[in-house]
Amino acid sequence: MPTAEFAFPGPLRDRLVAAILDGAKTSTTGLVVDYEHEGEALPAVGDRSVVVDSDERPVAVIEVTGVRVVPLADVDLAHVVDEGEGHTSVAEWREAHERFWHSEEMRTALGDPGFTVDDTTPAVLERFRLVADLRPDSLRPGHLRPDHLRPAATQRT
C-alpha cells in the first residue's frame, strides 16, 4: 500500500496526523505540480494509503472518497473547514497554505527556488476517511492502562 505523507516531518505533520486520527481532518490539498514532479498519479476514489508520522511510523490507513482539481481561487469553505486545521475562512487557509507552498522546503522538493502559487494554480482537493488506526493500543487516547500501571486509588471514608 502506498504511503501518505502530510507536509514534511516535524510539528506541522504531527498536527495534521493527529487531526486525521481524531477525525477532525477529512480533506487535504495538494498541487498538481507536486504530483507531476514526483511522477505520481493523482489520487482516485477508493485509493488507500498508509499515513506515516514524523518518524515514518505507520499510524493510519485512509481511503480517498472524493477528488477535485480546481484553481486555487475556487477552493471553498467546506473544504477548508474539513481540512481540520482550524481555519475559519478561505483567506486564512490560503495564507497558511501559501506559507507552506512558498517555503524553502517545498521549493527545494520541487527543485524550483522561485516557486509560487497564484489564483490559477491547479490544486488537488482530496477527501478521505479514516479506515484504520494503526497505533498500538497503548498510544491511543482513552486507552486504559494495565492495572499494575494505574496509580493507586485514593481511599475515602
- The DSSP line for the chain is --EE--SSTTHHHHHHHHHHHTT---EEEEEHHHHHHHT-PPP-TT-EEEEE-TT--EEEEEEEEEEEEEEGGG--HHHHHHTTS---SHHHHHHHHHHHHTSHHHHHHHT-TT----TTSEEEEEEEEEEEE-S-GGGSTTPPPPGGGSPPPPP--
The pLDDT of residue 150 is 37
The pLDDT tens digits of the residues spanning 22-44 come to 999 999 999 999 999 999 999 99
The pLDDT of residue 139 is 60
Residue that has been written with the C-alpha cell 473547514 in this structure: 81
Count of other CB atoms within 10 angstroms of residue 59: 19
3-state secondary structure of 9: coil
CA 35 to chain centre: 16
Residue that wins the pLDDT comparison between 139 and 16: 16
Q: Which three cell numbers stand for residue 115?
A: 516557486
The pLDDT tens digits of the residues spanning 105-157 come to 999 999 999 999 999 999 999 999 999 999 887 566 654 444 333 333 322 32
DSSP 130: E
Report the chain's terminal Cα–Cα distance, integer Å.
Answer: 56
The pLDDT tens digits of the residues spanning 94-105 come to 999 999 999 999
The pLDDT of residue 142 is 58
